[in-house]
């Protein structure tokens, strides 16, 4: 068994078989992720096991965004110019319900960070941002160093390492 991250392919991946326990996140994967990808709105990355590559263990959707400086902690905005900084938004992140608690959520988030660091090598990106659906999920992100923005308690950001 080897785990792999690949970009969602509607012909290859079993989107209908994915269930994370949050209907809106299952529905996004099934009905909207492919269209968003074709339209340049968000790119969805899926985690699969090479012994059963159609089965989606988890996914995350990424898109470009921006963050206003006043949303960040003072220590994170020192020396920054007075306009919004570029961001990568983790719009959605979910792990199949039967696979939760095995570290796959952490792997997906790590993959999103790695992709963001790679983007930063070719264009300016200062932070990642996520919208947590509730306080418990916000705690999941805080466990990885995300900080709450000033304006919205459930929107969190992570400075991207250079």
Counting contacts by CB under 6 A, is residue 103 touching ligand COA?
yes
46 and 73 Cβ atoms separated by less than 8 Å = no
Counting contacts by CB under 6 A, is residue 101 touching ligand COA?
yes
Question: Binding marks (x or -) toward ligand COA, 8..47, rule CB under 6 A?
Answer: ------------xxx--x----------------------
Helix (H) or strand (E) holding 3: strand 3-7
Counting contacts by CB under 6 A, is residue 145 touching ligand COA?
no
Q: E strands within 24-154?
A: 43-49, 58-67, 85-95, 127-131, 147-148
User: Is residue 104 annotated as a catalytic residue, yes or no?
Assistant: no
Is the Cα dihedral 154, 21, 55, 139 positive or negative? positive
Catalytically annotated residues: 141
In the complex, the residues that contact ligand COA under the rule CB under 6 A are 20-22, 25, 93-95, 100-106, 132-133, 136-137, 139-140, 143
């Amino acid at each position: 068994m080897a785990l792999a991250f690949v970009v969602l392919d509607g012909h290859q991946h079993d989107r209908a078989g994915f269930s994370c326990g949050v209907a809106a996140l299952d529905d996004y994967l099934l009905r909207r992720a492919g269209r968003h990808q074709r339209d340049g709105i968000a790119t969805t990355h899926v985690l699969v096991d090479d012994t059963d590559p159609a089965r989606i263990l988890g996914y995350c959707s990424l898109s470009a965004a921006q963050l206003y400086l006043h949303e960040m902690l003072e220590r994170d905005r020192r020396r920054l110019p007075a306009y919004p900084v570029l961001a990568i938004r983790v719009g959605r992140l979910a792990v199949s319900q039967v696979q939760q608690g095995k570290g796959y959520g952490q792997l997906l988030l790590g993959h999103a960070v790695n992709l963001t660091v790679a983007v930063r090598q070719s264009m300016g990106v200062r932070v990642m941002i996520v919208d947590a659906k509730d306080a418990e999920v916000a705690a999941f992100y805080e466990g990885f160093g995300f900080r709450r923005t000033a304006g919205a308690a459930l929107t969190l950001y992570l400075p991207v390492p250079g």
